[in-house]
Amino acid sequence: MQEDLKKYIRDVKDFPKEGIVFKDITTLLKEPKAIKATIDQLYEKAKDLKIDKVVAIESRGFMFGVMLAEKLGAGFVPIRKPKKLPADVFRQEYQLEYGSDIIEMHKDAITAGENILLHDDVLATGGTAKAACQLIEQAKGNIVQVSFLIELGFLEGKKMIEKYPIEALMRY
Amino acid sequence: MQEDLKKYIRDVKDFPKEGIVFKDITTLLKEPKAIKATIDQLYEKAKDLKIDKVVAIESRGFMFGVMLAEKLGAGFVPIRKPKKLPADVFRQEYQLEYGSDIIEMHKDAITAGENILLHDDVLATGGTAKAACQLIEQAKGNIVQVSFLIELGFLEGKKMIEKYPIEALMRY
Protein backbone atom coordinates (compact mmCIF):
# COMPACT_ATOMS: atom_id res chain seq x y z
CA MET A 1 0.00 0.00 0.00
CA GLN A 2 1.20 3.50 -0.76
CA GLU A 3 2.35 5.55 2.18
CA ASP A 4 -0.01 8.39 3.08
CA LEU A 5 2.07 11.50 2.41
CA LYS A 6 -0.46 13.95 3.84
CA LYS A 7 0.73 13.26 7.36
CA TYR A 8 4.05 14.95 6.47
CA ILE A 9 2.42 18.17 5.20
CA ARG A 10 2.12 21.07 7.62
CA ASP A 11 -0.86 23.44 7.43
CA VAL A 12 0.21 27.04 8.11
CA LYS A 13 -2.70 29.40 8.63
CA ASP A 14 -2.79 32.92 7.16
CA PHE A 15 0.25 32.46 4.89
CA PRO A 16 1.12 34.16 2.61
CA LYS A 17 -1.90 36.27 3.58
CA GLU A 18 -4.89 36.19 5.91
CA GLY A 19 -7.48 33.52 5.21
CA ILE A 20 -5.13 31.21 3.28
CA VAL A 21 -4.04 27.84 4.67
CA PHE A 22 -0.60 27.16 3.20
CA LYS A 23 0.45 23.57 2.53
CA ASP A 24 4.07 23.43 3.75
CA ILE A 25 6.22 20.67 2.21
CA THR A 26 9.35 21.43 4.25
CA THR A 27 8.08 19.08 6.96
CA LEU A 28 7.99 16.31 4.35
CA LEU A 29 11.46 17.17 3.02
CA LYS A 30 13.14 16.89 6.39
CA GLU A 31 12.11 13.21 6.74
CA PRO A 32 14.29 10.89 4.63
CA LYS A 33 11.62 8.18 4.42
CA ALA A 34 9.07 10.75 3.24
CA ILE A 35 11.41 11.96 0.49
CA LYS A 36 11.84 8.37 -0.70
CA ALA A 37 8.12 7.58 -0.55
CA THR A 38 7.30 10.75 -2.51
CA ILE A 39 9.85 10.23 -5.24
CA ASP A 40 8.85 6.57 -5.56
CA GLN A 41 5.21 7.57 -6.09
CA LEU A 42 6.11 10.20 -8.69
CA TYR A 43 8.36 7.70 -10.45
CA GLU A 44 5.66 5.02 -10.58
CA LYS A 45 3.35 7.42 -12.43
CA ALA A 46 5.97 8.37 -15.02
CA LYS A 47 8.30 5.39 -15.48
CA ASP A 48 6.67 4.03 -18.64
CA LEU A 49 6.38 7.35 -20.48
CA LYS A 50 9.89 7.49 -22.00
CA ILE A 51 10.53 10.93 -20.53
CA ASP A 52 13.46 12.80 -22.10
CA LYS A 53 13.36 15.87 -19.86
CA VAL A 54 11.73 16.84 -16.58
CA VAL A 55 10.92 20.55 -16.57
CA ALA A 56 10.23 22.14 -13.17
CA ILE A 57 9.09 25.54 -11.94
CA GLU A 58 11.15 27.71 -9.57
CA SER A 59 11.76 27.12 -6.82
CA ARG A 60 9.86 24.47 -4.85
CA GLY A 61 9.24 22.57 -8.07
CA PHE A 62 13.00 22.09 -8.43
CA MET A 63 13.16 19.83 -5.38
CA PHE A 64 11.19 16.81 -6.53
CA GLY A 65 11.56 17.72 -10.21
CA VAL A 66 15.29 17.15 -10.19
CA MET A 67 15.07 13.95 -8.13
CA LEU A 68 12.47 12.62 -10.54
CA ALA A 69 14.70 13.46 -13.52
CA GLU A 70 17.61 11.62 -11.91
CA LYS A 71 15.47 8.56 -11.14
CA LEU A 72 13.97 8.49 -14.66
CA GLY A 73 17.40 8.94 -16.26
CA ALA A 74 16.09 12.11 -17.89
CA GLY A 75 17.58 15.59 -18.22
CA PHE A 76 16.40 18.44 -16.00
CA VAL A 77 15.26 21.89 -17.14
CA PRO A 78 14.49 24.79 -14.78
CA ILE A 79 11.79 27.37 -15.52
CA ARG A 80 12.69 30.55 -13.69
CA LYS A 81 11.61 34.08 -12.87
CA PRO A 82 12.84 36.82 -15.25
CA LYS A 83 16.55 37.63 -15.51
CA LYS A 84 17.69 34.50 -13.65
CA LEU A 85 18.62 32.37 -16.67
CA PRO A 86 21.80 33.60 -18.37
CA ALA A 87 21.39 32.49 -22.03
CA ASP A 88 18.65 33.11 -24.65
CA VAL A 89 15.16 32.41 -23.29
CA PHE A 90 11.55 31.93 -24.27
CA ARG A 91 9.34 34.20 -22.15
CA GLN A 92 5.73 33.73 -21.12
CA GLU A 93 3.56 36.29 -19.37
CA TYR A 94 0.54 35.21 -17.35
CA GLN A 95 -2.20 36.81 -15.27
CA LEU A 96 -2.29 36.86 -11.49
CA GLU A 97 -5.16 37.88 -9.23
CA TYR A 98 -3.72 41.39 -9.34
CA GLY A 99 -1.34 42.19 -12.21
CA SER A 100 0.79 39.73 -14.15
CA ASP A 101 4.03 37.78 -13.95
CA ILE A 102 6.61 36.33 -16.34
CA ILE A 103 8.51 33.04 -16.42
CA GLU A 104 11.40 32.03 -18.68
CA MET A 105 13.06 28.88 -20.04
CA HIS A 106 16.30 28.56 -22.01
CA LYS A 107 15.67 28.28 -25.74
CA ASP A 108 18.14 25.39 -26.06
CA ALA A 109 16.81 23.47 -23.06
CA ILE A 110 14.48 21.24 -25.08
CA THR A 111 14.97 19.63 -28.48
CA ALA A 112 11.83 19.58 -30.68
CA GLY A 113 9.81 16.42 -30.16
CA GLU A 114 11.28 15.39 -26.83
CA ASN A 115 8.92 13.83 -24.29
CA ILE A 116 8.48 16.27 -21.42
CA LEU A 117 7.20 15.84 -17.88
CA LEU A 118 6.35 19.16 -16.23
CA HIS A 119 6.53 19.16 -12.43
CA ASP A 120 5.59 21.64 -9.72
CA ASP A 121 4.85 21.25 -6.04
CA VAL A 122 1.29 22.62 -5.94
CA LEU A 123 -1.52 22.98 -8.48
CA ALA A 124 -3.56 25.97 -7.30
CA THR A 125 -5.24 28.25 -9.87
CA GLY A 126 -3.17 26.71 -12.67
CA GLY A 127 -1.93 30.01 -14.08
CA THR A 128 1.76 29.25 -13.65
CA ALA A 129 1.37 25.66 -14.85
CA LYS A 130 -0.41 26.85 -18.00
CA ALA A 131 2.31 29.42 -18.71
CA ALA A 132 4.94 26.71 -18.19
CA CYS A 133 3.15 24.46 -20.70
CA GLN A 134 3.15 27.35 -23.17
CA LEU A 135 6.92 27.71 -22.74
CA ILE A 136 7.39 24.01 -23.46
CA GLU A 137 5.12 24.30 -26.52
CA GLN A 138 7.22 27.23 -27.76
CA ALA A 139 10.21 24.87 -27.66
CA LYS A 140 8.12 22.18 -29.46
CA GLY A 141 8.36 19.78 -26.54
CA ASN A 142 5.80 16.96 -26.30
CA ILE A 143 4.14 17.26 -22.87
CA VAL A 144 3.26 13.74 -21.74
CA GLN A 145 2.53 14.43 -18.07
CA VAL A 146 2.05 17.35 -15.70
CA SER A 147 2.69 16.19 -12.14
CA PHE A 148 2.19 17.84 -8.78
CA LEU A 149 2.71 16.83 -5.19
CA ILE A 150 -0.49 18.60 -4.16
CA GLU A 151 -3.68 19.58 -5.98
CA LEU A 152 -5.91 22.17 -4.35
CA GLY A 153 -9.07 20.90 -6.04
CA PHE A 154 -11.34 23.74 -4.94
CA LEU A 155 -9.31 26.22 -7.02
CA GLU A 156 -10.08 24.23 -10.19
CA GLY A 157 -6.60 24.75 -11.68
CA LYS A 158 -7.02 21.52 -13.67
CA LYS A 159 -9.26 23.36 -16.11
CA MET A 160 -6.34 25.56 -17.16
CA ILE A 161 -4.27 22.58 -18.36
CA GLU A 162 -6.97 20.02 -19.12
CA LYS A 163 -5.47 19.08 -22.50
CA TYR A 164 -2.56 17.35 -20.74
CA PRO A 165 -2.50 14.23 -18.52
CA ILE A 166 -2.36 15.49 -14.90
CA GLU A 167 -1.16 13.57 -11.83
CA ALA A 168 -1.14 14.65 -8.19
CA LEU A 169 -0.06 12.66 -5.14
CA MET A 170 -2.26 14.50 -2.64
CA ARG A 171 -5.60 16.23 -3.12
CA TYR A 172 -7.35 18.74 -0.88
CA MET B 1 38.70 8.02 -13.21
CA GLN B 2 36.29 10.78 -12.35
CA GLU B 3 34.41 12.33 -15.23
CA ASP B 4 35.48 15.89 -16.01
CA LEU B 5 32.36 17.92 -15.25
CA LYS B 6 33.73 21.21 -16.58
CA LYS B 7 32.88 20.23 -20.13
CA TYR B 8 29.17 20.48 -19.22
CA ILE B 9 29.42 24.02 -17.81
CA ARG B 10 28.57 26.91 -20.13
CA ASP B 11 30.38 30.22 -19.85
CA VAL B 12 28.00 33.14 -20.41
CA LYS B 13 29.76 36.46 -20.83
CA ASP B 14 28.51 39.69 -19.24
CA PHE B 15 25.89 38.02 -17.01
CA PRO B 16 24.45 39.19 -14.68
CA LYS B 17 26.41 42.32 -15.55
CA GLU B 18 29.19 43.49 -17.87
CA GLY B 19 32.60 42.01 -17.25
CA ILE B 20 31.36 38.90 -15.40
CA VAL B 21 31.64 35.42 -16.92
CA PHE B 22 28.75 33.41 -15.50
CA LYS B 23 29.16 29.67 -14.96
CA ASP B 24 25.87 28.19 -16.20
CA ILE B 25 24.98 24.76 -14.77
CA THR B 26 21.78 24.31 -16.81
CA THR B 27 23.85 22.73 -19.59
CA LEU B 28 25.01 20.13 -17.06
CA LEU B 29 21.50 19.53 -15.72
CA LYS B 30 20.04 18.73 -19.12
CA GLU B 31 22.40 15.76 -19.58
CA PRO B 32 21.31 12.69 -17.57
CA LYS B 33 24.83 11.24 -17.44
CA ALA B 34 26.20 14.55 -16.15
CA ILE B 35 23.58 14.65 -13.38
CA LYS B 36 24.59 11.15 -12.31
CA ALA B 37 28.33 11.86 -12.46
CA THR B 38 27.87 15.03 -10.40
CA ILE B 39 25.73 13.47 -7.69
CA ASP B 40 28.08 10.48 -7.49
CA GLN B 41 31.04 12.79 -6.90
CA LEU B 42 29.21 14.79 -4.23
CA TYR B 43 28.11 11.54 -2.57
CA GLU B 44 31.65 10.12 -2.49
CA LYS B 45 32.86 13.15 -0.56
CA ALA B 46 30.09 12.93 2.04
CA LYS B 47 29.11 9.27 2.39
CA ASP B 48 31.15 8.54 5.52
CA LEU B 49 30.13 11.66 7.46
CA LYS B 50 26.86 10.36 8.96
CA ILE B 51 24.92 13.34 7.59
CA ASP B 52 21.50 13.87 9.21
CA LYS B 53 20.40 16.81 7.08
CA VAL B 54 21.50 18.46 3.84
CA VAL B 55 20.81 22.19 3.96
CA ALA B 56 20.82 24.03 0.63
CA ILE B 57 20.53 27.63 -0.48
CA GLU B 58 17.78 28.94 -2.79
CA SER B 59 17.42 28.23 -5.58
CA ARG B 60 20.19 26.60 -7.61
CA GLY B 61 21.51 24.98 -4.44
CA PHE B 62 18.24 23.07 -4.13
CA MET B 63 18.96 21.03 -7.25
CA PHE B 64 21.94 18.96 -6.20
CA GLY B 65 21.27 19.54 -2.49
CA VAL B 66 18.06 17.57 -2.56
CA MET B 67 19.50 14.78 -4.73
CA LEU B 68 22.42 14.49 -2.34
CA ALA B 69 20.06 14.29 0.66
CA GLU B 70 18.09 11.52 -1.03
CA LYS B 71 21.23 9.57 -1.90
CA LEU B 72 22.67 9.96 1.63
CA GLY B 73 19.35 8.97 3.23
CA ALA B 74 19.34 12.36 4.97
CA GLY B 75 16.61 14.96 5.39
CA PHE B 76 16.57 18.12 3.28
CA VAL B 77 16.29 21.70 4.55
CA PRO B 78 15.87 24.76 2.28
CA ILE B 79 17.36 28.15 3.13
CA ARG B 80 15.29 30.81 1.41
CA LYS B 81 14.90 34.49 0.71
CA PRO B 82 12.73 36.46 3.17
CA LYS B 83 8.98 35.76 3.43
CA LYS B 84 9.15 32.50 1.47
CA LEU B 85 9.14 30.08 4.42
CA PRO B 86 5.74 29.92 6.13
CA ALA B 87 6.57 28.93 9.75
CA ASP B 88 8.87 30.48 12.40
CA VAL B 89 12.35 31.23 11.05
CA PHE B 90 15.87 32.15 12.03
CA ARG B 91 17.01 35.18 10.01
CA GLN B 92 20.52 36.17 8.98
CA GLU B 93 21.52 39.44 7.35
CA TYR B 94 24.72 39.67 5.31
CA GLN B 95 26.59 42.29 3.31
CA LEU B 96 26.62 42.50 -0.47
CA GLU B 97 28.87 44.63 -2.65
CA TYR B 98 26.18 47.29 -2.43
CA GLY B 99 23.72 47.01 0.45
CA SER B 100 22.70 43.85 2.28
CA ASP B 101 20.47 40.81 1.98
CA ILE B 102 18.67 38.38 4.29
CA ILE B 103 18.20 34.62 4.25
CA GLU B 104 15.95 32.49 6.45
CA MET B 105 15.64 28.90 7.70
CA HIS B 106 12.78 27.28 9.64
CA LYS B 107 13.50 27.13 13.37
CA ASP B 108 12.35 23.53 13.58
CA ALA B 109 14.29 22.37 10.50
CA ILE B 110 17.32 21.14 12.47
CA THR B 111 17.53 19.36 15.82
CA ALA B 112 20.45 20.46 18.03
CA GLY B 113 23.54 18.34 17.43
CA GLU B 114 22.54 16.94 14.03
CA ASN B 115 25.31 16.50 11.46
CA ILE B 116 24.75 19.02 8.69
CA LEU B 117 26.07 19.24 5.15
CA LEU B 118 25.57 22.69 3.62
CA HIS B 119 25.37 22.75 -0.18
CA ASP B 120 25.26 25.49 -2.80
CA ASP B 121 26.07 25.54 -6.50
CA VAL B 122 28.82 28.19 -6.52
CA LEU B 123 31.28 29.53 -3.94
CA ALA B 124 31.99 33.12 -5.02
CA THR B 125 32.68 35.77 -2.37
CA GLY B 126 31.40 33.44 0.37
CA GLY B 127 28.96 35.96 1.88
CA THR B 128 25.86 33.84 1.39
CA ALA B 129 27.62 30.64 2.49
CA LYS B 130 28.83 32.31 5.70
CA ALA B 131 25.33 33.60 6.46
CA ALA B 132 23.94 30.11 5.84
CA CYS B 133 26.49 28.65 8.28
CA GLN B 134 25.38 31.23 10.85
CA LEU B 135 21.77 30.11 10.40
CA ILE B 136 22.78 26.49 10.99
CA GLU B 137 24.77 27.54 14.06
CA GLN B 138 21.72 29.38 15.39
CA ALA B 139 19.87 26.06 15.19
CA LYS B 140 22.84 24.33 16.91
CA GLY B 141 23.54 22.12 13.92
CA ASN B 142 26.99 20.52 13.59
CA ILE B 143 28.38 21.57 10.19
CA VAL B 144 30.55 18.70 8.95
CA GLN B 145 30.92 19.75 5.32
CA VAL B 146 30.22 22.71 3.05
CA SER B 147 30.05 21.51 -0.55
CA PHE B 148 29.86 23.35 -3.86
CA LEU B 149 29.74 22.32 -7.48
CA ILE B 150 32.00 25.22 -8.43
CA GLU B 151 34.57 27.30 -6.55
CA LEU B 152 35.62 30.62 -8.08
CA GLY B 153 39.03 30.62 -6.42
CA PHE B 154 40.03 34.15 -7.41
CA LEU B 155 37.20 35.57 -5.25
CA GLU B 156 38.69 33.93 -2.15
CA GLY B 157 35.31 33.00 -0.67
CA LYS B 158 36.95 30.13 1.22
CA LYS B 159 38.34 32.60 3.74
CA MET B 160 34.79 33.46 4.85
CA ILE B 161 34.04 29.88 5.92
CA GLU B 162 37.52 28.53 6.62
CA LYS B 163 36.54 26.98 9.95
CA TYR B 164 34.51 24.31 8.11
CA PRO B 165 35.64 21.50 5.79
CA ILE B 166 35.00 22.72 2.23
CA GLU B 167 34.61 20.60 -0.91
CA ALA B 168 34.16 21.71 -4.53
CA LEU B 169 33.91 19.56 -7.64
CA MET B 170 35.22 22.19 -10.06
CA ARG B 171 37.63 25.06 -9.50
CA TYR B 172 38.27 28.13 -11.65
Question: What CATH number is given to the structural domain containing B150?
Answer: 3.40.50.2020
% of chain B beyond a pLDDT of 70: 99
**Is B42 within a domain?**
no
Render pLDDT for A40-69 as a digit per residue (tens, 0 to 9): 999 999 999 999 999 999 999 999 999 999
Interchain CB distance below 8 Å, B39 and A106:
no
Query: Taking CA atoms, what residue in A is nearest to B13?
Result: A86
For residues B79 and B153, give the distance between their C-alpha atoms in angstroms, rounded to a whole number: 24
- C-beta atoms surrounding B84 within 10 Å: 16
- Would the pTM count as exceeding 0.95? yes
Question: Chain B interface residues facing chain A, Cβ-Cβ under 8 Å?
Answer: 10, 12, 15-16, 22, 24, 26, 29-32, 35-36, 39, 53, 58-59, 62-64, 66-67, 69-70, 73-78, 80, 83, 85-87, 106, 109
**Is A106 within a domain?**
yes
**Is A156 within a domain?**
yes
Q: What is the mean pLDDT of residues B136-150?
A: 98
Render pLDDT for B108-139 as a digit per residue (tens, 0 to 9): 999 999 999 999 999 999 999 999 999 999 99
**Is B21 within a domain?**
no
Q: What is the mean pLDDT of residues B57-79?
A: 98
For residues A123 and A148, the answer to whether their CB atoms sit within 8 Å is yes
Interchain CB distance below 8 Å, B87 and A12:
yes
Q: What is the pLDDT of residue B117?
A: 99
CA B96 remoteness from chain centre: 17
**Is B13 within a domain?**
no
For residues B45 and B167, the answer to whether their CB atoms sit within 8 Å is yes
Render pLDDT for B19-53 as a digit per residue (tens, 0 to 9): 999 999 999 999 999 999 999 999 999 999 999 99
Partners of B66 on chain A (C-beta within 8 Å) are 29, 35, 62-64, 66-67
**Is B142 within a domain?**
yes
Interchain CB distance below 8 Å, B73 and A32:
yes
Q: Tell which of A12, A67, A111, A114 to mutate to test the B interface (max B CBs under 10 Å).
A: A67
Crossing angle of the two packed helices B60-72 and A32-46, in degrees rounded to 10: 100
Domain hosting residue A130, numbered range: 49-171
Residues of chain A with pLDDT under 70: 1
For residues A115 and A120, give the distance between their C-alpha atoms in angstroms, rounded to a whole number: 17
**Is A20 within a domain?**
no
Q: What is the pLDDT of residue A1?
A: 60
Count the domains in chain A.
Answer: 1
Look up the ipTM and state it. 0.96
Q: How confident is the model at residue B97 (pLDDT cuts 50, 70, 90)?
A: confident
